[in-house]
């Protein structure tokens, strides 16, 4: 079973990255938001690197990593996603696309309909290629399955 297309997802999580802060080795600079403010319970810590996204069982999820600077011309990608035992049908993966602007930037996954509820940490490994080399970083948001 292939992971869903972004157009079939119901939950969207965006990782906004201040590449300048990363380049300066600052520990800040990643802001994670989602479209679950109407969930019951709603997501928590919106706009921080420790977002807790509220997701119903069976939901399809789309993660996208984006630079805050729209003129950033280098690459920003998710390189790996470790989900632990969160009830995904299969480990989320990069969405294959011929559009170079989203290659490696968009990942999708689907929870099974009988997922075990509760909080689960995610480990999302990312890479930014900038004008003076590459910078790897990790964000660890959480998913709350209800």
In angstroms, rounded to a whole number, what is the distance separating the alpha carbons of residues 21 and 28?
7
The DSSP call for residue 6 is: G
In this prediction, residue 27 carries a pLDDT of 65
Q: How confident is the model at residue 55 (pLDDT cuts 50, 70, 90)?
A: very high
Query: For residue 121, what are its two tokens?
Result: 């940490």
* 87-138 pLDDT per residue, tens: 888 888 888 765 555 567 899 999 888 877 888 888 888 888 776 677 788 8
Dihedral sign, Cα of residue 89, residue 50, residue 48, residue 114: positive
Q: How confident is the model at residue 69 (pLDDT cuts 50, 70, 90)?
A: confident
In angstroms, rounded to a whole number, what is the distance separating the alpha carbons of residues 114 and 44?
23
Q: How confident is the model at residue 71 (pLDDT cuts 50, 70, 90)?
A: confident
CATH superfamily assigned to domain 6-145: Inclusion body protein (2.60.40.3910)
pTM of the model: 0.88
Q: How confident is the model at residue 70 (pLDDT cuts 50, 70, 90)?
A: confident
Q: Where are the domains of the chain?
A: 6-145
Computed over every residue of the chain, the mean pLDDT equals: 84
In angstroms, rounded to a whole number, what is the distance separating the alpha carbons of residues 84 and 18?
27
Helices (runs of H) and strands (runs of E) counted in the chain: 1, 11
In this prediction, residue 112 carries a pLDDT of 86
């Amino acid at each position: 079973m292939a992971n869903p297309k972004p157009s079939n997802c119901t939950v969207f999580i965006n990782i906004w990255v201040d590449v300048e802060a990363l380049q300066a080795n600052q520990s800040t600079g990643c802001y994670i938001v989602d479209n679950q403010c109407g969930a019951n319970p709603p997501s928590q810590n919106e706009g921080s690197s420790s977002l807790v996204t509220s997701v119903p069982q069976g939901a399809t999820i789309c993660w996208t990593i984006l630079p805050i600077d729209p003129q950033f011309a280098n690459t920003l990608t998710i390189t790996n996603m470790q989900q632990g035992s969160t009830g995904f049908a299969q480990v989320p993966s990069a969405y294959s696309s011929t559009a170079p602007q989203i290659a490696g930037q968009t990942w999708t996954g689907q929870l099974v309909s009988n997922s075990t509820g509760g909080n689960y940490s995610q480990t999302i490994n990312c890479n930014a290629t900038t004008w003076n080399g590459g910078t790897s970083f990790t964000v660890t948001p959480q998913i709350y399955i209800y």
